Chains A and B, each alone.
Chain A
Amino acid sequence: MADSPLLNVRSLSRVFGTQHAVNDVSFSINKGEVLGFLGPNGAGKSTTMKMLSGNLAPSYGEITINGYDLLSEPKQAKSHIGYLPETPPLYKELTVAEFLYFCAQINQIPSSNRKKAINIAIDRCGLNDVAQRLIGHLSKGFQQRVGIAQAIIHSPAVVILDEPTSGLDPIQIKEIRHLIRDIATEHSVILSTHILPEVQTLCDRVQIINQGKLIFSDSLSGLSQHMQASSLLVTLKAPPTRVQLYTLEGVSSVETLSPTQFKLHYHPENNPTELLLEQAVSRQWQLMELTPIQHSLEDVFMNIIQQENSAMEQS
C-alpha cells in the first residue's frame, strides 16, 4: 500500500459527441510529487482535472485515489482529493472564515477538529488578515488563496489545481507559486497550466497533453535534456573567416548573422566553448560576446507537439 501510487489513472477517455476531449490517458502520481499537466488551451487539461475530481464522469477508464475507485466508491475517493477549478468555487457573500467552516463541514471533518483544520488552512494560505472579510471584497489573488485553502482544508492526499495562476498579476503569481510549493511538502499536487516556466519552477514531473492525448511524460530533468543548449552566439570584433570557425572541433555548422556576429551549432556532447575562447585569445579575434543559446521550454513544447503532429500525419 505504501508504495502504490496515490492516484492512478488508467486509459481515461472522455467523449463529447463525436469528439474525444481526452483520449486514452494513463498516468499515476506518487506521494509528495508535483505533477505538471501542460498543454495548449483546449487540449483536455481541464476535462481531465474535472474527471479526477469527480465533477465529470469518464466515458471509459478508471481512476483510483488512495486505493479507492472513484466510480464505485466516490465518497471515500473524494475525501482524499482537494480540487480547485479554473474559477475558484466561492460563495462571495460569506466571510473567509464562514466559507471555510462550511467547507470543513461538507468535507466531513469532525466538529472537534474543525476549528484546528480551518486555522491551519488560513495560516498556510496567508489569510489571517482577511479571515473576517467578505470573499467578494477580496482581490483576485486572495480569492485564489481562499480557493486553495478550500482544497487543502481536509488535508487530502492529492490536491488538484487547475490553472491556479491564470488572471493574476506578477506579484500574486509569485505568491501563489510560493504557496503551491509549500503545499507540495505535505500533499501530492497535480497542477495544470499552459505557462511553461511555472512547470520549471514547481514540478517534479511533467506531462504534456495535446488534443486529448498524452504526448510526453518525463521528469523535469528529462525535459531539460530536451532543452539543452546546442548553439552559441558569438560576436567577434576582428572575426576570422567562416571556414576557420567551422573547423573548430565540435562545431557542426556556422550561421553568419552579421559581419561580426555568428551562431555556432554544435553536438551537445562536444562543446567547443573552451576551444573557441582559447583561439579567440591567441588569434586576437577580439571576443565581444559569447552566449550559450538555451532552448526555451516553449521551443521544446512546440517541438514535441510538432513531432507528434507529423508522426500522426505519416501514420
Chain B
Amino acid sequence: MLALARNELYRLFLSPLAWVILALSQVILAYLFLTHIDYFIQIQAKISAIPGAPGVTELIATPLLSNAATILLLLTPLITMRLIAEERRNESLPLLLSAPLSMLQIVLGKFLGTLGFFFILLLLIILMPLSLAIGSSLDFGLLAAAFLGLILLVASFTAIGLFLSSLTKQPSIAAVTTFATLFLLWIIDWSTQSTGLFNWLSLLNHYQPFLQGEVRTSDIAYYLIITVVFLTLTVRHLDSERLN
C-alpha cells in the first residue's frame, strides 16, 4: 500500500503537471500574501491603539489560508483526475488488479500518494505566514488549527476526486465532475433559505471555524466522514466493476 502511494507520488513528480501546479499556486498565493502584508502595514498604525485588535496572524495568515482553500478547490480536480481514469485509459489497471492487493489497498495507496503531494503543497504555503515569525510574534495555535483544517479539507477533496475518477475512462470528465461537485458542496449553503442539512453539507462552513482557531470535533468528524464515504464508494465501485 505504501509502495503504491510512493509510486503514485513519484509518478506525479515525473509529469510536468505537478511542478507547474506547485509553481503557479506559489506565485498566486505569494502575490496574495504580499497584498495582505501591504494592507496590514497600511492599517497597522490605526489599529495598534485599539486593545484586543486582530494581530498579524488574523490579518495575514487567516485570509491567506482562506484563499489557499479556494485555490485548492481549483487545483484538486487537475491532480485527482488522472488517478484511476488515466490508468484505465492506458489499460494499466490490470497490473494492480492482478497483483496480490486488495481493492482497499489500491484505493488507499492512491489516496495517500495524492495526499502526500498536497501535503508538500500545503507545507510550501504555510511557510509564507511562518516567515513572518522572523519579524513579529505569531499565534501558532491559530496557525496550527488553520493548517489542520486545510489538511482535512484537502483530504475530503481528494477522496471526492478519486471517486469521480474511478467512474470514468476520461480524465477530463473526471476533472469537470470533480470540480462541479466540489464547487456545489462549497456554495450549497449560499441560498438564504438553506436548511440545516445544506448548511451541514457545506465544505466551506466547516472550514471557517478552523480559520478562527476553533478545532471542533464535529468539523473534524464531517471531513473524516466525507473522506471515508468517498473512499468506500471508490472501493465498492471498482469491486462491482469486476462483477459486472
Contact = CB atoms under 8 A, between A and B. Distances in A.
Q: Do A and B associate with each other?
A: yes
A106 interface: yes
Contacts of B11: 91, 93-94
B15 A85 contact: no
Interface stretch (B70-78, B98-106, B134-142, B151-159): B98-106
Interface in A84-116: 85, 87, 89-94, 98, 102-103, 105-108
A198 to B, nearest CB: 22
A192 B15 CA distance: 35
Given A55-B94, A89-B95, A94-B14, A102 B100 contact: no
A85 B90 CA distance: 12
Contacts of A55: 94, 97-98, 242
A171 B98 CA distance: 29
Interface residue tally on B, bucketed by range: 20 to 34
A143 to B, nearest CB: 12
Contacts of B10: 98
Contact of A106 (B90, B101, B242): B101
A253 to B, nearest CB: 52
Interface stretch (A30-38, A75-83, A301-309): A75-83
Contact of A79 (B96, B100, B102, B242): B100
B243 interface: yes
Interface in B1-23: 3-4, 7, 10-11, 14-15
A56 interface: yes
B172 to A, nearest CB: 19
A143 B98 CA distance: 19
A56 B92 CA distance: 15
Contacts of A102: 3, 7
B34 interface: no
Given A106-B99, A108-B100, A53 B243 contact: no
A74 B104 CA distance: 13
B91 A89 contact: yes
A93 B95 contact: no
B92 A90 contact: yes
Given A55-B242, A93-B14, A94-B11, A107 B99 contact: yes
B94 A106 contact: no
A110 to B, nearest CB: 12
A106 B4 contact: yes
A53 B14 CA distance: 30
A91 B92 contact: yes
Contacts of B133: none
Given A93-B15, A94-B11, A83 B243 contact: no
Contacts of A150: 95
A105 B99 CA distance: 10
B93 interface: yes
Interface residues on A, range: 20 to 34
A54 interface: yes
A87 B93 CA distance: 11
Contact of B98 (A76, A81, A105): A81
Nearest to A151: B98
Interface centre among A50, A85, A94 (most CB of B within 10 A): A85
Contacts of A56: 242
A195 interface: no
Contacts of B94: 50, 53, 55, 83, 85, 89
Contacts of A54: 97-98, 242
From B10, B91, B100, B102, residue with most partner A Cβ within 10 Å: B100
A53 B96 CA distance: 11
A57 interface: yes
A105 B243 CA distance: 27
Contacts of B92: 89-91
Contacts of B98: 53-55, 78, 81-83
Contacts of B3: 102, 105-106
Interface string A40-61: 0000000000100111110000
A94 B96 CA distance: 16
Contacts of A92: 90
Interface string A19-36: 000000000000000000
Nearest to A85: B94
B150 to A, nearest CB: 29
Interface of B: 3-4, 7, 10-11, 14-15, 90-102, 242-243
14 contacts: A53-B97, A55-B94, A55-B98, A56-B242, A57-B243, A78-B98, A79-B100, A81-B98, A83-B94, A89-B90, A89-B92, A90-B92, A91-B90, A93-B15
- A-B pairs with lowest CB-CB distance, top 4: A105-B3, A89-B95, A89-B92, A83-B98
